[in-house]
């Protein structure tokens, strides 16, 4: 867990390194970092992809040139902190402690990407280091994401705190099959460009959901979900900018949002969704993921922070072999795909998975 033996700050700052070392030692074991980050307090002579360059005062630096060189750039003024990396921009608002730069280095060393490490660094408080568990868990210390559109009114309807087993399925036939086997939460993820096929599949799935009084979500296709009177829709982070969240809320549909780390969780919570999906927990081949697998340790921290604020769903690479470990985080729900669709005996697979949920109660 040592930060010594490599350049952590530029220019070298022994006092900051000592504080970062103390914070890092309190955060426990995490996977080895994929990038040996360097926090730069001034612009280095040859900035590169391992550099996080921090400005806390007005400056005349060429930000575009730094970004072109691959560096990440943080500008911190008052309670507003903005991170830019490539074309991505992450704006945060909130108080920060005197140790936030040391905490940033420590969380980067825990293998968090800069935007998530920055969230944690801004949530860090000196008193964390005096607790048995030093990890930031007080939601009130976390920053908020700035520059977002207002959350829609009315709020999205609530869904159960624990959604249980949550199969994500490719067709209405599969939806009917799992609901007939006692599943109460499911999602239609229909991959098609055929509008007629999509309409038929959604309407058939919604009919099955009503028959079983189940929580049926439609992936992505929110217009068709509204038209069919679905229970809810599930959207990705990228969809928040393009979907009409107000229309979804006005129609009385529940909203589930995908998240892949602390920043995206805070961003999603701003819109007051009905649930958050946390993933991908493990490697998955069912879709291309924008981030590395989160793992159980991160999932546990996410649940620790968010449990009771919003229903949570673990997703990504989950099957019967890991289900008990996933549920041990107290997440309340877990989405599965191949654990059901590739099972030799679907009814038995569902029964075995449902038993694991019962065992955790």
CATH assignment of the domain containing 337? 3.20.20.70
pLDDT at 284 (0 to 100):
82
Query: What domain count does the chain have?
Result: 2
Residues 6+ apart with CB under 8 A from 149: none
pLDDT at 288 (0 to 100):
64
Of 269, 266, 321, give the one whose Cα is nearest residue 296.
Answer: 321
Rounded distance between C-alpha atoms, residue 206 and residue 42, angstroms: 57
User: Are both 79 and 196 inside the same structural domain?
Assistant: no
If 0-12 CB within 10 Å is exposed, 13-18 middle and 19+ buried, where does residue 103 land?
buried
Answer whether residue 159 is part of any domain: no
User: Are both 313 and 178 inside the same structural domain?
Assistant: yes
Q: Which of 145, 180, 208 is the last residue of a domain?
A: 145
DSSP 324: H
Q: Which domain holds residue 191?
A: 164-359
Residues 6+ apart with CB under 8 A from 316: 279, 280, 281, 282, 283, 284, 289, 293, 294, 335
pLDDT at 1 (0 to 100):
45
Residues 6+ apart with CB under 8 A from 57: none
Buried b (16+ CB within 10 A) or exposed e, 73-85: bbbbeeeebbbbb
User: Are both 44 and 99 inside the same structural domain?
Assistant: yes
User: Are both 79 and 203 inside the same structural domain?
Assistant: no
CB 52 within 8 A of CB 7: no
DSSP 23: H
Answer whether residue 1 is part of any domain: no
Q: What is the dihedral of CA 257, 261, 264, 268, to 10 degrees?
A: 40
Answer whether residue 320 is part of any domain: yes
User: Are both 101 and 169 inside the same structural domain?
Assistant: no
User: Are both 179 and 283 inside the same structural domain?
Assistant: yes
CB 91 within 8 A of CB 147: yes
CB 96 within 8 A of CB 81: yes
User: Are both 179 and 251 inside the same structural domain?
Assistant: yes
CA distances from 60 to 11, 63, 65, 69, 84 (A): 19, 9, 12, 17, 16
Answer whether residue 206 is part of any domain: yes
Rounded distance between C-alpha atoms, residue 330 and residue 162, angstroms: 10
User: Are both 72 and 188 inside the same structural domain?
Assistant: no
| Torsion-angle region of 39 (φ positive above 0: left; ψ -120 to 50: alpha; else: beta) | beta
Locate tokens 């999205």: which residue? 156
Q: Which helix (H) or strand (E) holds 121?
A: helix 114-123
DSSP E strand stretches across the chain: 9-10, 38-40, 51-55, 72-77, 80-85, 88-93, 144-145, 164-169, 185-188, 215-219, 232-235, 254-259, 275-279, 312-315, 333-336
User: Are both 201 and 296 inside the same structural domain?
Assistant: yes
User: Are both 83 and 175 inside the same structural domain?
Assistant: no
**Model-level pTM?**
0.96
pLDDT at 289 (0 to 100):
62
Of 241, 271, 240, 307, give the one whose Cα is nearest residue 155.
Answer: 271
Per-residue pLDDT of the chain (361 residues; tens, 9 = 90+): 457 678 999 999 999 999 999 999 999 999 888 899 999 999 999 999 999 999 999 999 999 999 999 999 999 999 999 999 999 999 999 999 999 999 999 999 999 999 999 999 999 999 999 999 999 999 999 999 999 999 999 999 999 999 999 999 999 999 999 999 999 999 999 999 999 999 999 999 999 999 999 999 999 999 999 999 999 999 999 999 999 999 999 999 999 999 999 999 999 999 999 999 999 999 987 766 667 899 999 999 999 999 999 999 999 999 999 999 999 999 999 999 999 999 999 999 999 999 999 988 7
CA distances from 227 to 169, 203, 206 (A): 20, 9, 11
Answer whether residue 158 is part of any domain: no
pLDDT at 360 (0 to 100):
81
Rounded distance between C-alpha atoms, residue 300 and residue 307, angstroms: 10
Answer whether residue 253 is part of any domain: yes
User: Are both 136 and 181 inside the same structural domain?
Assistant: no
Answer whether residue 196 is part of any domain: yes
User: Are both 141 and 191 inside the same structural domain?
Assistant: no
């Amino acid at each position: 867990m040592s930060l010594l033996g490599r350049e952590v700050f530029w220019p070298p700052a022994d006092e900051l390194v000592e504080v970062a070392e103390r914070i890092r030692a309190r955060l426990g074991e995490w996977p080895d970092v994929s990038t040996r980050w360097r926090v730069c307090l001034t612009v280095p002579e040859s900035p590169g992809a391992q550099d996080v360059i921090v400005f806390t005062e007005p400056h005349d630096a060429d930000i575009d040139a730094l970004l072109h060189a691959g560096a990440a750039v943080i500008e911190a003024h008052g309670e507003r902190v903005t991170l830019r990396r490539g074309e991505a921009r992450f704006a945060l608002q909130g108080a920060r402690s005197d140790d936030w730069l040391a905490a940033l280095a420590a969380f980067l060393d825990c293998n968090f990407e800069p935007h998530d490490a920055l969230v944690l660094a801004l949530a860090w408080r000196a008193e964390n280091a005096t607790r048995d568990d030093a990890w930031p868990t007080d939601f009130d210390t976390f920053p908020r994401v700035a520059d977002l559109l207002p959350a829609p009114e009315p709020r999205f309807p609530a869904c159960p705190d624990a959604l249980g087993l949550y199969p994500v399925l490719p067709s209405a036939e599969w939806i009917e099959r799992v609901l007939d086997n006692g599943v109460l939460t499911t999602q239609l993820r229909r991959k098609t460009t055929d509008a007629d096929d999509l309409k038929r599949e959604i309407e058939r799935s919604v009919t099955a959901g009503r028959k079983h009084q189940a929580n049926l979500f439609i992936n992505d296709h929110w217009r068709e979900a509204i038209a069919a009177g679905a229970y809810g829709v599930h959207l990705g982070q990228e969809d928040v900018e393009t979907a009409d969240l107000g229309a979804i809320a006005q129609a009385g549909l529940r909203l589930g949002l995908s998240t892949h780390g602390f920043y995206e969780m805070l961003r999603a919570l701003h819109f007051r969704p009905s649930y958050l999906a946390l993933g991908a927990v493990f490697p998955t081949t069912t879709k291309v993921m924008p981030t590395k697998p989160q793992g159980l340790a991160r999932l546990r921290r996410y649940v620790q922070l968010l449990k009771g604020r919003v229903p949570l769903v673990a997703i990504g690479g989950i099957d019967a072999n890991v289900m008990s470990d996933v549920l041990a985080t107290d997440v309340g729900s877990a989405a599965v795909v191949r654990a059901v669709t590739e099972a030799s005996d679907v009814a038995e697979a569902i029964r075995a998975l449902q038993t694991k949920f019962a065992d955790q109660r």
